[in-house]
Amino acid sequence: MQLPDAAFLTDLMSESLNSPPQGKPRVRFAPSPTGFLHVGSARTFILNWLYARRNGGTMILRLDDTDVERNTDASVNSIFEGLKWLGLSWDEEYKQSERGELHRQMAETIFQKGLAYRDFTPAHAGDSERSGAQGTWLFNPGMRELSRAESDRRAAAGEPFALRFRVPREGGVVRFTDAVYGEQMKAGADIEDFALLRSDGMPMYHLASCADDADLRISHIIRGQDHLSNTYKHVLIFEAAGFTPPQFAHLPLLVAPDGTKLSKRRHGPVVSVTTYRDAGFLPEAFINFLCLLGWSPKNDREQMSRQELIDAFSLEGINRANAVVNFKEATSQPVVIPTLSEEKGRNLLSSPEDTFDPKALWLNAEHIRGLAIEDLSQRLLPIVQGAGFNVLPERMLRITPLIRERIKLLRDVLTAADFFFVDQLPPYDPAELIPQKGDAAMALKVLQRAKEVLANVEFKHDPLDQGLRAAAQELGIKAGQMFQPIRVAVCGRKNAPPLFETLEVLGRETTLARIEQAIQKAG
């Protein structure tokens, strides 16, 4: 492997490495496309986005895709699908794999300063120094102390080598101030001589990340706490290459109720952003929920709009303690959300909502109730039509206000309003037709009289209300005893939207047909 000439470094990076404009931060989200978009990664993106928008800065999306053996197109698609659903835009976009020359030139700069050395031995092989009782690999004395002349000779002969950072060993201390965790320090003697370049010339993560951050003039690196230990190495790289490190802010980890870090292997799809999308979360509610995992707004509010989140966000509000996502551990098995085609005609479809954090569900329900009817109807219609039901926009607009208070997830429309979409109700227990403190005979009289009234009354709220209440008085029963058999007859259950509005939407023909079927059941 031949290192490039360092003379090109200044020409390549001179303009882009200028300091960012005063007061205008540049932040980045740098996912590795090796899996789905994790909820923790989504939170990192969101908090970076909020910081940029709050301070008039620039949001950068950079795919850290140098791990070619693990990168997949499916992972790239998952990242972009998830971010597209969130609806948060970015200002600049880059692929790390297209910037390899920049990475190698930074490595050359560090090497020419004597702050890196060639290691011609296999990784962690040969005579090595190890640290204390832990016995971790630190460096290979034979390679670290190899003369420059001998190193050049072996490289010129084509002998493969990795390039390692020469970490200060005696008395050296690496320090930085984290915006969340405060002052951090670590002795250089406890940091291994980490690789900058592999023997095939490919850049390692630490080098590539720092080179890109410097080139893109990143002012603040806001990322997960699991990267905190990497930051000592990154500070060394920035300073060795002649750059002032950005401000670091590490976010508390997201953990399961048992305290373990959220992972797909252990906890399944519940940690994937697209699971929430497919379950029927609103993106604005999901963003609201993720923001509250490890961040506390000064206003002590929980439900906030996107603009309110922007106005309230600050790094000072980020907590140090890990944030718990309170999903049901019993459902750490794969979350099963039926496809829309499987849902057609199903009554009382089992909802996956018990899987999710109760606060996430509460926030979603609150955001749903805050939507305009027209907006909510437009979001519900594709779900209903996708399940195979032929529902026109005008009809969906009439149904939406009847169920808005009854759903927590958008997909709940398929259970809260299923009786509006089917021609024939699924079977139900005839005992449900019997009103409170009544009997089967009372149910039959109610249904027969209701059929007579509804055959002639105008199908609008007030006439329906007046006609059925008058019928209850004629029968000498309470209004509630009149309404329950009708509700079950037309909806197939007791728990349903307001009766008169429901009858209006169902219409006379459907209503009478279902009451006739109920009379047959009751008789």
The DSSP result for 479-517, as a single string, is: HHHHHHHHHHHHHSSSS-S-HHHHHHHHHHHHHHHHHHH
Output the pTM of the full model. 0.87
pLDDT score for 242: 96
Whether 203 and 283 share a structural domain? no
H-run or E-run covering 39: helix 39-54
Whether 112 and 144 share a structural domain? yes
Edge-to-edge strands, sheet with 58-63: 92-95, 58-63, 26-29, 220-224, 247-251, 173-178, 182-187
SS3 203: strand
| Beta carbons within 8 Å of 100's beta carbon, 6+ residues apart | 66, 202, 203
Please say if the pLDDT value at position 184 is more than 70.
yes
379, 395, 421: which is the final residue of a domain?
421
Whether 358 and 287 share a structural domain? yes
Whether 299 and 368 share a structural domain? yes
Whether 331 and 209 share a structural domain? no
CATH, residue 82: 3.40.50.620
**What percent of the chain clears pLDDT 70, i.e. is strictly above it?**
88
Q: Phi and psi (nearest 5°) for 160?
A: -65, 150
Whether 239 and 288 share a structural domain? no
| 259 within a domain of the structure (yes/no) | no
Compute CA distances 260 → 275, 290, 324, 382, whole Å: 20, 18, 9, 37
165 lies in which domain range?
A: 7-251
pLDDT score for 3: 44
User: pLDDT digits over 131-170, tens only?
Assistant: 544 567 788 889 999 999 999 999 999 999 999 999 998 8
pLDDT score for 15: 38
> How long a stretch of residues is the chain?
523
| 293 within a domain of the structure (yes/no) | yes
| 346 within a domain of the structure (yes/no) | yes
Please say if the pLDDT value at position 430 is more than 70.
yes
CATH, residue 363: 1.10.1160.10
Compute CA distances 79 → 38, 45, 98, whole Å: 9, 11, 18
pLDDT score for 284: 98
Residue with structure tokens 């699991």?
226
206, 221, 251: which is the final residue of a domain?
251
Whether 385 and 466 share a structural domain? no
pLDDT score for 138: 86
How many other C-beta atoms are found inside a 10 Å radius of the C-beta of residue 281?
27
Q: For 128-142, 453-467, 501-515, which range has the lowest pLDDT when averaged over its residues?
A: 128-142
Edge-to-edge strands, sheet with 162-165: 116-119, 162-165, 195-197
Q: How many structural domains is the chain composed of?
A: 3
Nearest to 115 by CA among 236, 263, 276: 236
Please say if the pLDDT value at position 335 is more than 70.
no
Please provide the average confidence, as pLDDT, over all residues in the chain.
Answer: 89
Maximum Cα interatomic distance, the chain, rounded to a whole number of Å: 110
Whether 279 and 229 share a structural domain? no
Q: Yes or no: say if 334 and 394 are a contact pair by the CB < 8 Å rule.
A: no
Whether 292 and 214 share a structural domain? no
pLDDT score for 5: 39
Whether 237 and 272 share a structural domain? no
Whether 72 and 220 share a structural domain? yes
217, 251, 285: which is the final residue of a domain?
251
